Amino acid sequence: MSEDIGPRPGGTEWEWEGARYIGSTLESYGYSVEYQTFAVANQYIGHMTLPDGTTWMTGASTRGAFTDDAPVTGGLVDAGTGLAAEYPADVTGKIVLMTAGSSAAARNTQATLAVNRGAVGMLLINTAGARGAKAGANNPSLSVDVAVPVLGVGQAHGEWLRERLAAGETDLTIRNKVHSNLESVNVIATRPAQTPAPGDPVVVVGAHLDSVVGAPGANDDASGVGLGLELARVMKSYNTDKELRFAFWGSEERGLLGARHYVNQLSDAEANRIVAMFQADMVATSHLGATHFYAMTNDGRTNVVTDAAVAAGARQGDSSVLPGHFGSSDHVPFAQRGIPAALFIWMHVASWSPLVYEIERIYHTPEDTIALNISPERMQIALNIVGAAVFDVARKPVPALDQQPEPVLVP
Ligand code: BES
Ligand code: ZN
């Protein structure tokens, strides 16, 4: 998904490509697949293409002009901070690259100057990353209309473009488009209990299939999708007495929309059937600092999901598995409905404060790729822990393990 499709913003054709990839993979394992759709707001998206054909997705300012995906080509000029003194008086026909001003007023001034000097497009390098992260692509906010396309590029895009400029490459093609009337989608595959009965308890394994604009989302969250697909494949033939549902949420990055939609349409009786929800989100970072594999709950209390995960860690001789306290993913709507749920994620506690978690700086950026942010070893650990924990919750009762009286054979 992160390489062949790339960024998968919620509601766009690229999220749908991801959904179809997941659905057809599940079908190839023998599942019948449900696509659950819901309406989402417009997306404002740009693309830039280099002379060698390399294409990167960016955000677009809603106040810039839109080419409706028609390409605009121009020489690229580095305008530095976008101040008048920093670039040629005449940039007619050029595309100007600059570090975005830190206020809407500053960005308005940058855009007005670039248009007055004849630019045909603008790339504003985002500098505002959240939670210590590098800045990803964004939708630059402006309070004036601008007559040319204004794209919001990630910090990494800015670095890469400046490297290309230094190497003498100057041509760039940009395009942008308003994506409207969007529908996003959850993809769900169900494996009934071995001997199904109405009202069987249900265990949900979830991951989100979307990414933020401009981020290939290899760790966030193609890693979780890979975990969900692999557990679906392996557990197809397992002997469990609970129903398993493998759910791939749309538009998580737009506000947990897919999981919230799913939870909202459950009757109380259906919600009560769900005994555990395992959310895999960012389960394979190669960032060495992220030393622990956490089962995070929204309220910070342990539950059946975190207990099963910590126990699986103990059985596997792995003390890096810990319970923790964090929201920010699709376990939250489940927890809010009273369903035991946890988020699985690699993190660590900051050396400078026991109250702060840290993660890799390149999540939500163009550098969230397999090459830069995925560890096969971490992925394997996540599979071993979550797989064992899901099985532990979903398996048939084992009297000796459950400390129940063992049956005796009556003579
Ligand atoms: N994978 C992240 C969640 C995350 C990020 C957890 C960093 C811990 C540390 C998730 O995809 C995400 O970014 N969630 C959004 C949720 C919001 C849109 C409700 C977030 O945290 O901004
Ligand atoms: Zn995520």
**Ligand 1 atom with least separation from CA of 359:** 9
The answer, yes or no, to whether residue 398 has pLDDT greater than 80, is: no
Compute, in angstroms, the gap from residue 301 CA to the centroid of ligand 1: 20
**Residue 107's pLDDT band (cuts 50, 70, 90):** very high
User: Is residue 368 lining ligand 1, measured as CB closer than 6 Å?
Assistant: no
Contact 185, 19 (CB under 8 A): yes
pLDDT tens digits along 144-169? 999 999 999 999 999 999 999 999 98
pLDDT at residue 407 greater than cutoff 90: no
Q: What is the DSSP letter of 138?
A: B
Confidence of residue 403 (pLDDT cuts 50, 70, 90): confident
Dihedral (C-alpha) 113, 115, 121, 123: value to the nearest 10 degrees?
20
In this prediction, residue 43 carries a pLDDT of 98
Task: Tell me how crowded residue 315 is: count the other CB atoms within 10 A of its CB.
Answer: 13
Spacing of C-alpha 316 from chain mean position? 28
Reply yes or no on whether the pLDDT at 35 is more than 90. Answer: yes
**Average pLDDT score over the chain:** 96
Give the separation between CA 364 and CA 137, rounded to whole angstroms.
Answer: 8
The predicted structure's pLDDT at residue 205: 99
pLDDT value at residue 410: 85
Q: What's the pLDDT band for 208 if we cut at 50, 70, 90? A: very high
256 CB under 6 A from ligand 1?
yes
Judge contact between 236 and 30, C-beta under 8 A: yes
Half-sphere exposure for 8 (CA within 13 Å, toward CB)? 33
Show Cβ contacts of residue 411 under 8 Å, excluding neighbours closer than 6 positions: none
pLDDT in tens, 286-296: 999 999 999 99
Nearest residue to 174 via CA among 263, 257, 55, 316:
55
Q: Find the ligand nearest to 221 CA.
A: 2
pLDDT digits over 161-192, tens only? 999 999 998 899 999 999 999 999 999 999 99
Give me the pLDDT at residue 337, please.
98
pLDDT attached to residue 406: 76
Ligand 1 neighbourhood includes 328 CB (under 6 angstroms): yes
> Is 80 exceeded by the pLDDT of residue 38?
yes
* Protein residue closest via CA to atom 8 of ligand 1: 328
Give yes or no for residue 397 having a pLDDT over 80: no
Ligand 1 center to 257 CA (angstroms): 12
DSSP conformational letter for 395: B
pLDDT at 103 (0 to 100): 96
Res 401 pLDDT > 80: no
Atom of ligand 1 nearest to the CA of 253: 18
Q: 114: CA distance to ligand 1 center in Å?
A: 35
Kindly provide the b/e burial profile for residues 323-345, where b requires at least 16 CB atoms within 10 angstroms of the residue's own CB: bbebeebbbbbbbebebbbbbbb
Tell me the percentage of the chain whose pLDDT exceeds 90. 94
Residue 234 clears pLDDT 80, i.e. is over it: yes
Q: What is the pTM of this model?
A: 0.96
- Read off φ and ψ for residue 162, nearest 5 degrees: -70, -35
Q: Is 329 in the pocket of ligand 1 (CB under 6 A)?
A: yes
Q: With a 6 A CB cut-off, is 252 part of the ligand 1 pocket?
A: yes
CA 327 to ligand 1: nearest atom:
6
CA dihedral 96, 102, 106, 108 (to 10 degrees): 60
Which ligand has the nearest atom to the CA of 329? 1
Predicted local confidence at residue 409, as pLDDT:
86
